[in-house]
Amino acid sequence: MLLVIRIWSRIRLTETSTDSSFAAASPVTPDELTHIENSVIRAAQEAGEFVASRFGGILEISNKGDKPGKDLVTDVDKASQRLIERIMEETCPDHMLLGEEDPPDEEPEAADWLWVVDPIDGTTNFVNSSPVHAVSVAALYRGEPVAAAIWIPWPNDAGNLLMHARKGNGTWVGDTQVHVHKSSESGEPISGVLSARPGWVRRMFNVQKPLEGHFGEIRVGGSACYEQFMVANGTMQYALTGFAMAWDFAAAILLVKESGGKIMAASSSPEFVDFDGWAKGYANDSATYGRIRKWRGLLLSGSPDTVEFVARNLRPKRRGLLGKLSSLFGS
């Protein structure tokens, strides 16, 4: 099968559209939602350009945890997040930011609007001069992603691509609307088309016969946001990604859904469940902020039929995944 790579270079600042069920059911007007989307686009693009300016250069590198070489953070991660926060404060002053580089014990009361940000997703790749990394910015309204952008490096004239969406208006790269990969008639992953899944999947899941030998062409890049970008633009037919944090998925949830895709999450039951964010039980308190900050998940994204096929044919092993999920989800 011939895989066609589509290249875009121009950012598309969006115009107001009335095709938004979210705007109709919320206090946010279409004009306000468009403004928020354009603010998110600006933040992701400017942060991405800053990250690109430091790529391959001298970095200040440290570890967040106790294991050397694991969970790396650089001065570029921190500066990128500060840049995004400044743009948010300038353009959306009543919004709050939750970022990967926040102090881990910080739990203010959650505002209605929360920007969930990964200033560099794939820091280890970035440190090692791999171009597979991303900047991810999502605006959540009471826990639901409603405007989002992901920036990635790309070998085009601009040196990057920026994908963005707002709820009800589709997913775009430049002036081109993008869509998830078309699924096969049965939903079975298509041979020769890229897919992503963790290498440990067989240790944690029983792979059912219909899926055995039909995962597609597996590639794992080391950046959840980059993988989700590839799902949303149809380069990958699906991705099983995680366990990862809210900032790894917040923008991707909207981008994949608005490109015609489906998101499901592994849960403490044997079934994957539909997932669209953190709106359930949302309150303006520190517990909500802390819940989103500490959340970890394993998400399956792609074209709806393919996602449902893969989900039906992965069964968690009683020992291993279910125990891990029970501790993660508090059940």
| Per-residue tens of pLDDT for the chain, all 331 residues | 333 333 333 444 556 554 445 555 678 899 999 999 999 999 999 999 999 999 999 999 998 766 666 779 999 999 999 999 999 999 999 999 999 999 888 889 999 999 999 999 999 999 999 999 999 999 999 999 999 999 999 999 999 999 999 999 999 998 999 999 999 999 999 999 999 999 999 988 999 999 999 999 999 999 999 999 999 999 999 999 999 999 999 999 999 999 999 999 998 888 899 999 999 999 999 999 999 999 999 999 999 999 999 999 999 886 555 555 545 544 3
Q: Is 100 annotated as a binding residue?
A: yes
> What are phi and psi for residue 326, nearest 5 degrees?
-60, -40
> What are phi and psi for residue 17, nearest 5 degrees?
-125, 145
User: 3-state class of 41 per DSSP?
Assistant: helix
Q: Is 305 annotated as a binding residue?
A: no
| Cα angle value 299/3/176 (rounded, 5°) | 75
Contacts of 101 (CB under 8 A, 6+ apart): 73, 77, 78, 81, 119
Q: What is the pLDDT of residue 9?
A: 36
Q: Which fold has domain 21-178?
A: Fructose-1,6-Bisphosphatase; Chain A, domain 1 (3.30.540)
Which two three-digit tokens encode residue 83? 């840049």
Q: What is the pLDDT of residue 124?
A: 96
CA–CA gap between residue 21 and residue 7 (Å, rounded)? 30
Is residue 328 within 8 A of residue 229, CB to CB? The reply is: no
296-302 and 262-266: which strand pairing? antiparallel
Q: Is 248 annotated as a binding residue?
A: yes
- Cis peptide, bond prior to residue 243, ω within 30 of zero: yes
171-173 and 176-178: which strand pairing? antiparallel
User: 3-state class of 187 per DSSP?
Assistant: coil
CA dihedral 324, 329, 330, 331 (to 10 degrees): -80
Statement: the pTM of the whole predicted model exceeds 0.85: yes
CA–CA gap between residue 189 and residue 323 (Å, rounded)? 28
E strand or H helix that includes residue 305:
helix 304-312
Contacts of 236 (CB under 8 A, 6+ apart): 181, 193, 194, 195, 196, 219, 227, 230, 302
CA–CA gap between residue 117 and residue 248 (Å, rounded)? 8
Q: CATH for 194-329?
A: 3.40.190.80
Which two three-digit tokens encode residue 11? 């950012």
Per domain, the residue ranges of the chain are 21-178, 194-329
Q: What is the pLDDT of residue 103?
A: 87
- Alpha-carbon distances, residue 155 vs 50, 169, 293, 308, 320 (angstroms): 17, 27, 34, 33, 40
CA–CA gap between residue 257 and residue 255 (Å, rounded)? 6
